[in-house]
Amino acid sequence: MKTVVLKHVAFEDLGSWAATLRQRGHKVSYLEPGDDLTRADEADLLIVLGAPVGLSDVGSYPFLRDEIAIVARRLEFDAPTLGVCLGAQVMAAALGANVYRGLSTEIGWGVLNLTEAARSTPLAALADAPVLHWHSDTFDLPSGAVHLASSGVTRNQAFSFGRSLALQFHCEMMGGTIERWLIGHAVELAEAKESVPALRNESLRHALPAARAGRQFMSAYLDTLGDDQPSEGLW
C-alpha cells in the first residue's frame, strides 16, 4: 500500500501514526508545498496534515487551491483520504461546504463528544481519550457526510465521507514533541494569550494515553480499508 502525506510544516508530522503505518507495511512518501502535488493521485491512502495557515489565506498560498482540487477528485472516486485540522477543512471545502472562522480559537487537550454513528467507526478508539485541539477555523458539515464528533467549542470536529475521514483535531500528535509546536506556533499562542508552560505540562501529562489512542485509531482505520490487499485498482 502506498501512503502519501501532504505535510506543510516540519513539526506537524505523522506522530504516533508513523509506526503503525510502517508496521502495516505501508510505503510512506511525503509531499510539501512547492512539490508536484499530482503525485497524490497515485496514493492508496492520502493523509493531509495541518498547517498554521487556513483556507482564507488562499490568495497568499495558492497551493491550497491545488490541494482542494486533488482532494475533491479523490473523494469523487471514494479514494481513501484522511484529513487533519487544515486537512479536514480542505476536505470540507472539496465537498462544497463553507470553511470560516470559528466562534473562538480552540487550543488545548480535551475529550471528544462522539456521535452514536461514531461508535462503529475508528473514532471509537478515541472515546474518553485526550486529543489536541489547535485551530481557529471550522466548517459546515458537507452534504452527504456523516457527523462523528463535536467539542464544547466546535460542533463539527469529525465527519466521514465514504472511506474517508476528516478530523479537525489532532490524535496523531505525540505529547513528548510539544516543544516543536510551542516554538512553531509562538506568535499564535501569544495572540491567543495561552500559557506556554501550562500547555507544555498538559501535553506531557497526556502523552502516553494520547499516543496509545492515536495508534489504535490508525490501526482501526487501516482495518476498514483492508490494507493487506494489493494496491492496484483501488480507484
- In the numeric block, which cell numbers belong to residue 169? 483535531
Percent of the chain with pLDDT over 90: 91
- CA-CA distance, 46 to 26, in Å (whole number)? 12
Which run of H or E residues covers position 66? helix 63-76
- Residue in the block written with cell 492520502: 46
- Mean pLDDT for the chain overall: 94
CATH number 2.40.10.10 given to 2-225: no
Residues 6+ apart with CB under 8 A from 143: 95, 96, 97
Q: Largest Cα–Cα distance of the chain, in whole Å?
A: 49
Residue 233 scores a pLDDT above 80: no
**pLDDT (tens digit per residue) in 82-111:** 999 999 999 999 999 999 999 889 999 999
Backbone angles phi, psi at 129, to 5 degrees: -95, 145
Q: Is residue 195 classed exposed, middle or buried when 0-12, 13-18 and 19+ CB atoms within 10 A define those classes?
A: exposed
Q: Where are the domains of the chain?
A: 2-225
**C-alpha cell at position 76:** 469523487
Asked if residue 63 lies in contact with residue 101, where contact means CB atoms within 8 angstroms, the answer is no
Decide: 113 and 169 in contact? Cβ < 8 Å: no
Confidence band for 49, pLDDT divided at 50, 70 and 90: very high
Helix (H) or strand (E) segment spanning residue 28: strand 27-31
pLDDT confidence of residue 230: 47
Give the tens place of pLDDT for each residue, 151-166.
999 999 999 999 999 9
What does the pLDDT average to over 197-208?
95
77 by Cβ neighbours in 10 Å (0-12 / 13-18 / 19+) ranks as exposed
pTM of the entire structure? 0.95
140: confidence class by pLDDT, cuts 50, 70, 90: very high
Coil, helix or strand for 3? strand
Residue 147, SS3? Answer: strand
Give the count of beta carbons closer than 10 Å to the beta carbon of residue 87: 26
Cα 168 from chain centre: 6
For the segment 7-15, the average pLDDT, to the nearest whole number, is: 94
